[in-house]
Amino acid sequence: MNYTIENNILKLTVAEHGAEIKSLIRKCDNKEIMWQADAAFWGRTSPVLFPVVGSYYQKKSVYDGKTYEMGQHGFARDMDFALINQTDNKLTFELNSNDSTHEKYPFDFKLIITYIIEESTVKVCWNVENTDDRKMYFSIGAHPAFNVDLGTDYLRFEKAGEAVAAITANIIAGDGSGCLSDEKDNYELSDGILKMSDELFSKDALVIENQQADKVTILDKDKKPVLSVTCPTPLFGVWSPVAKHAPFVCIEPWYGRCDRVGFNQKLEEREYGNSLNPNETFDSEYDIILN
């Protein structure tokens, strides 16, 4: 089932399956902002990435002597959440661990995703609670896809309100593992601007670590802003499918990322991993801002 909230500027629709944004309409011109999940390119719109961002090395993790297998980006995106609160401007969804999650991931948890609309902004709030009796290890991230023209549109990177002069991106390995290589690409920017193209994504996602930017804006062919995504996270990804000339780009705030090729698979040693003691909670949010 889908749920919709709106104000005089935007209309937001979220599905209970995956607690995934399905539509974001700019009302002034009835423009659809979100990619509409055409499976010929990519059959999702804005999945929640939990309890792993990216891929485990060889799709496996090891904890307390036991091996767990889990696909890319975890299981939350493929599960039904429960709507636990709805107001005129807010939707809150909840997912709890169960027998099926224990087969892939050892911990008990509660995951709450809240969407709030305030004027031209969508706030996406994450709350992770460790309901287990031992320390819990996890990652969480976003994967929103926005309609663009790769042949004409741009990205602008900012840090603390200033244009970024250069970006260094780690590169996904070309071996099909979905894991990180040691390769890096460097991009010199003018006023923080990077032209989008098929070539830009010819090696898969750009993995941008070390808080190099905290806001990414999509610009149209005239370099006018369309929307911005805040990235108050340790790292983020920028992605469009390889060699498909897909009409969308994903801007992805992350607390965590894929393993490096050859990683030892120990869950508690993953780079950019997060942990919670029993009964502790993790809270964060990012914004999608229409211009």
DSSP one-letter code for 76: G
The CATH number for 212's domain is 2.70.98.10
Task: Give CA–CA dist 76/73, Å, rounded.
Answer: 8
Supply angle C-alpha 231, 235, 238, rounded to 5.
75
pTM for the complete prediction? 0.97
**Res. 203 pLDDT band, cuts 50 70 90:** very high
Domain span at 171? 2-290
With CA atoms as reference, report the closest residue to 282 among 60, 127, 93: 127
- Beta-bridged to residue 85, according to DSSP, are 92
- Give the CA distances from residue 114 to residues 7, 19, 89, 215, 237, in Å, rounded to whole numbers and listed in that order: 17, 9, 11, 20, 22
Three-state DSSP at 38 gives coil
Three-state DSSP at 71 gives coil
Number of compact structural domains in the chain: 1
Could you tell me the two tokens for 202? 């010819």
**Res. 103 pLDDT band, cuts 50 70 90:** very high
Supply angle C-alpha 252, 134, 109, rounded to 5.
45
- Chain mean pLDDT for the chain: 97
Three-state DSSP at 190 gives strand
Region 67-89: what's the mean pLDDT? 97
Task: Give CA–CA dist 24/146, Å, rounded.
Answer: 10
The CA radius of gyration of the chain, in Å to the nearest whole number, is: 18
Percent of the chain with pLDDT over 70: 100
With CA atoms as reference, report the closest residue to 139 among 266, 254, 268: 254
Could you tell me the two tokens for 161? 């309100």
> Would you say 109 and 96 are in contact if contact means Cβ atoms under 8 Å apart?
yes
- Name 229's Cβ contacts closer than 8 Å, sequence gap at least 6: 144, 215, 216, 217, 251, 253, 286, 287, 288, 289
- Give the CA distances from residue 141 to residues 73, 76, 77, 153, 285, in Å, rounded to whole numbers and listed in that order: 9, 11, 11, 25, 10
What are 140-187's pLDDT values in tens digits?
Answer: 999 999 999 999 999 999 999 999 999 999 999 999 899 999 999 999
Could you tell me the two tokens for 219? 């610009």
